[in-house]
A and B are shown apart, each in its own frame.
Chain A
Amino acid sequence: MATPVQTTNEPAISAEHLLRRFGNFTAVNDVSFRVEKGEIFGFLGPNGSGKTTVIKMLTGLLPLSGGSARVEGLDVGTESEAVREQIGYMSQNFSLYYDLTVMENLRFYGRIYGLEPARLKQRIKEIIELNGLAPYLNRLAAQLSGGWKQRLALGCAMLHQPKLLFLDEPTAGIDPVARRQLWDLLFELSGHGITFFVTTHYMDEAERCSHVAYIYYGKLIADGTPDSLRQLPDVQPAGTMRVEITAPEVTRALRLARHIPGIRSATIFGQSIHALVDESFDMESLRHQLGNHGIAVTEIRPLAPSLEDVFVELTYKHQALLEAASD
């Protein structure tokens, strides 16, 4: 990307009290957030929690039932056509025309944005270079592997040099190499000032984002940098700590550990247990108690909460609040 994006003080996205109802169902409930220019904003949440609805509202596909949103300084409700000039969108199923070739797909999307022939040619050349599509130009899109489809889709979404790109689960069903390459590309582009709004289910991808938000059944329950979220009091309550307990027979160890006082919650992570314990918890007693059941603990070490821990804790807390409210 040769052209640097102009910077103003406007954030790339500012959403204020977004509300979307479908009949009696509130899909998006009072969601507010800001995405600064050049950020990689990770938008997470379970399926059906409103991620795609928020994207549709921000891209002008869905009218707001309430609240307001500005994208690149433009109102999504009243200036939606101008908004569309500024944004690119890649949906989770790579919206390509499978019966057209790579080149034809690129040309079509370029023309749709009204690029002049000379500029279109130039941009296609740049995109081919950036995404390494050169060997496949005359191949039908249907014949590309998942990773290449995704690169082509990204290329199509970028032809008109958008300042903000929405990527809806860009890595679903993509092999790990392609996944890493995509993220390398995103970092490179974000270095040029392009803003990314990325939804994902992968926690390791969330960790790579400069800013993450978590939506849970229409409510935004977390919003911040990954590090600031890890330090939230709800995630790491005062007087507690997180430890990683490595032991053989980890499943049986987990069952036993859950009955040991002082362990607030525990879950298996690969060959070890991640546990939230009281600060006063006696590690030696744990080692001893598990030893009594024939499980020799190999290691216990303190652990920073992962983003997954963060979202799990926040979800529990949110559910508890909802239950308290309904009682």
Chain B
Amino acid sequence: MTNIFRGFAAVFYKEVLHVRRDAATLFFSLIIPLLQMTVLGFAIDTNIRQVHTVVYNADGRQESRELLDRLKNSDTFHIIRYVENDKDLNDAIISGRARVGVKIPVDYSDRLLHQMSAQVLVLIDGSDSSVAGQAINVTTAIGLDESLRRVLQDRSAAFPVDMRPKILFNPDSRSPNFFLPGLTAVLLLNVTTFLTAFSIVREKERGTLEQLFVTPVRPMGLLFGKLLPYLGIGFFELCMILAFMRFVFLVPIHGNVLLLALFSLPYLFVSLSIGILVSSKATTQSEAMQLSFLTFLPSIFFSGYIFPRETMPWIFYWLSNFIPATYFINITRGIILRGAGIQHLWFDALALTAMGTFLLVVAARRFHNKVIMA
């Protein structure tokens, strides 16, 4: 009567049997995240390089060729074609063959020679804002730099103000270093929420859940018996993902990996509770699948995993405070990239623990009201 975890051991043992018997599901739920990581790790490069560029050089003299060389050397532009008229320049961009078109007017060198302002037209395809932004920045910087040197006359003179940006933690701006720690959070969510939701919904479909409720098993015994095996799987998955990230993608882990493991527990706890919440609503496995996906989307888009939270409209920024992945991504990036310690990240861990506890209580209550007493 007093043991609120009554039935825990029996349920735990049974759940382990299910997992062992269904090795295929386990295998795929462990392997697929690694495949996703491989694909995303290799494919995603947020640094904008080698933008296809078409050039109409109406001038063609030394000065104009020097300018083009500077564009090329920036690594941002890759000149794919030289054209001879405005129409071809336009067509190359409209057709999508090039994202940037540079037109150097016929009097470019003459005007520079006569100390007059020379204009260079840079056409930018705005359909990808990050490419456009990078193209504007680099061309503007090159133009400014070129101008300053001409105004100062002396090509070797130092600028009065010299900004020296220094990128901390990820000096080469390697995309995997930035992406993979965040991806860890998303992939873990995937495994744990799905597996828990499925394991419960399957029992609903089969009718065994109803059977369990007429036994003396207590809701907490049942829920924890179901949670813990999947917590173990989730934790194992985390270790695999981290090893993969470290040794295949060579992302250095600057902080304490044990702290990362410890702080991942509240996060796993949250996502397992979400799984239970999903299962208290869903009646079929496909419904559980859809609902789980619904919980992933905010985690992917509002957690800062892809888009920086700071640029979000205030409402989404505010919403992102309620998304567990937000905190865990801060933890993974903090520990892996910035070498952050417990003194920097305790709040995130605390927030996750609070969320997990809250969600589990809500899930258990919902479970009691909507599933048992239905």
Chain A residues proximal to chain B, CB less than 8 Å: 59-63, 81-82, 84-85, 87, 89, 91, 93-100, 104, 108-109, 111-114, 166
Contacts and interface: CB of A to CB of B under 8 A. Distances in A.
A97 B14 contact: yes
B370 to A, nearest CB: 13
B212 A84 contact: no
Overall SS of chain A's interface = loop
A185 B360 CA distance: 44
B215 A97 contact: no
B14 A93 contact: no
B1 interface: yes
Nearest to A104: B17
B216 A114 contact: yes
Given A99-B22, A104-B17, A60 B214 contact: yes
A97 B207 CA distance: 9
A94 B210 CA distance: 11
B9 interface: yes
A111 B10 contact: yes
A100 B10 contact: no
A108 B11 CA distance: 8
B207 A95 contact: yes
A100 B216 contact: no
A63 B18 CA distance: 32
Contacts of A59: 214
Nearest to A94: B207
Contacts of A96: 206, 208
A95 B17 contact: no
Nearest to B9: A111
Given A82-B1, A84-B216, 16 more contacts: A60-B214, A84-B214, A85-B216, A89-B214, A91-B207, A91-B210, A93-B207, A94-B207, A95-B207, A99-B18, A100-B17, A100-B21, A104-B17, A112-B7, A112-B215, A113-B215
A40 B335 CA distance: 66
Contacts of A94: 207
Contacts of A85: 216
B151 interface: no
Contacts of B13: 108, 111
Nearest to B211: A95
Contact of B216 (A63, A81, A104): A81
B208 A95 contact: yes
A112 B214 contact: no
A112 to B, nearest CB: 5
A95 B216 CA distance: 16
Contacts of B211: 89, 91, 95
The 5 A-B pairs of least Cβ separation, nearest first, read A95-B211, A111-B10, A89-B214, A95-B208, A93-B207
B213 interface: yes
A99 B211 CA distance: 16
A95 B203 CA distance: 9
Counting contact residues on chain B (CB < 8 A from A), the size range is 20 to 34
A60 B213 CA distance: 9
A166 B357 CA distance: 37
11 contacts: A59-B214, A60-B214, A61-B213, A91-B207, A91-B210, A95-B207, A99-B21, A104-B17, A108-B10, A111-B7, A114-B7
Contacts of A109: 215
A23 B21 CA distance: 42
Nearest to B10: A111
A87 B211 CA distance: 12
Interface string B1-39: 100001101110110011001100000000000000000
Interface in B282-338: none
A112 B207 contact: no
B373 interface: yes
A25 to B, nearest CB: 14
B17 A112 contact: no
**For A89, A111, A112, A113, which residue has the most chain B Cβ atoms within 10 angstroms?**
A112
A62 B373 contact: yes
A61 B372 contact: yes
**For B14, B211, B373, which residue has the most chain A Cβ atoms within 10 angstroms?**
B211
B217 interface: yes
Nearest to B14: A108
A92 to B, nearest CB: 8
Contact of B214 (A61, A108, A111, A114): A61
B186 to A, nearest CB: 29
A278 to B, nearest CB: 50
Nearest to A89: B214
Contact of A61 (B18, B22, B210): B210
A95 B213 CA distance: 11
Contact of B14 (A62, A81, A100): A100
A112 B11 CA distance: 7
A89 B212 CA distance: 10
A112 B206 contact: no
Contact of A113 (B11, B21, B207, B216): B216
Contact of A84 (B11, B208, B215): B215
Nearest to B215: A112
A114 B6 contact: yes
Nearest to A62: B373
A94 B11 CA distance: 18
Nearest to B225: A112
Interface in B315-374: 372-373
Contacts of A60: 214
A15 B212 CA distance: 24
A27 to B, nearest CB: 13
Contacts of B216: 81, 84-85, 112-114
A120 to B, nearest CB: 10
B206 A98 contact: yes
A98 B207 CA distance: 11
A114 B5 CA distance: 12
A59 B206 CA distance: 19
**For A63, A97, A100, which residue has the most chain B Cβ atoms within 10 angstroms?**
A97
B208 A112 contact: no
B373 A97 contact: no
